[in-house]
């Protein structure tokens, strides 16, 4: 269970941002958070409704429902085209162009697709080299790192994470 959630949190927003046109990127990636909230709301309703059942179904129904979405995703993931960015980064230019075309076909003209492909190539060619971990502890990055660590620490220390995940409706 936790492996799926961890992979989902890391992969889905990144994948969404890579395959969605720039104009809609913020809305689409934001929809991921909305879906998490909606899912939490639905499971709270299910837990509330099953809490009055006096046998094993009270815990088996909510637990069983948890596996529906991961099972659907796991069975369909092999049919999802690769990210054009990933393909291009790995030297598969023709496959990257085909992937981008499959994502944009029907909504964008071939000229717009070609233009976006050239922009993606340009961005990858001028991408800055990966930094080293120690750089997160130097200069302005130290301030940023401490801010992120503090926010996450206090989110856990105050119990907000527990309340938002297990709070009753």
pLDDT in tens, the chain (169 residues): 556 667 777 788 888 888 888 888 888 888 888 888 888 888 888 888 998 999 998 889 988 888 888 888 889 888 888 888 888 888 899 999 998 888 888 888 888 888 989 998 998 888 777 778 898 899 999 999 999 899 888 877 887 766 666 665 4
| CA gap 10, 34 in Å, rounded | 16
Write out the two tokens for 90.
Answer: 């790995």
| CA gap 169, 146 in Å, rounded | 34
Contact (Cβ atoms closer than 8 angstroms) between residue 19 and residue 147? no
- Residue 166 has a pLDDT of 66
Let me know whether 31 and 50 are in one domain. Answer: yes
Cα 105–107–113 angle (5° rounding)?
55
Domain ranges, residue 164? 131-169
Q: 159-166: list long-range contacts, CB under 8 Å, 24+ apart.
A: 164/40, 165/40
Let me know whether 9 and 64 are in one domain. Answer: yes
- Residue 146 has a pLDDT of 94
Let me know whether 97 and 159 are in one domain. Answer: no
Let me know whether 94 and 62 are in one domain. Answer: no
Let me know whether 13 and 47 are in one domain. Answer: yes
Q: Which of 46, 19, 18 is nearest to 107 (CA)?
A: 19
- Residue 36 has a pLDDT of 81
| CA gap 2, 155 in Å, rounded | 20
């Amino acid at each position: 269970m936790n492996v799926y959630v961890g992979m989902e949190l890391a992969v889905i927003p990144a994948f969404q941002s890579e395959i969605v046109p720039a104009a809609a990127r913020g809305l689409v990636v934001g929809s991921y958070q909305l879906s998490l909230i909606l899912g939490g709301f639905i499971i709270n309703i299910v837990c509330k409704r099953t809490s009055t059942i006096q046998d094993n179904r009270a815990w088996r129904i909510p637990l069983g429902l948890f596996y529906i979405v991961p099972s659907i995703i796991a069975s369909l993931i092999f049919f999802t085209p690769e990210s054009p960015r990933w393909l291009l980064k790995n030297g598969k230019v023709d496959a990257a162009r085909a992937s981008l075309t499959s994502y944009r076909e029907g909504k964008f003209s071939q000229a717009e697709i070609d233009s976006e492909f050239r922009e993606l190539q340009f961005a990858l060619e001028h991408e800055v080299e990966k930094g080293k971990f120690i750089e997160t502890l130097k200069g302005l990055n130290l301030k940023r790192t401490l801010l992120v660590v503090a926010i996450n620490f206090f989110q856990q220390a105050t119990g907000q994470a527990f309340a938002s995940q297990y709070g009753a409706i």
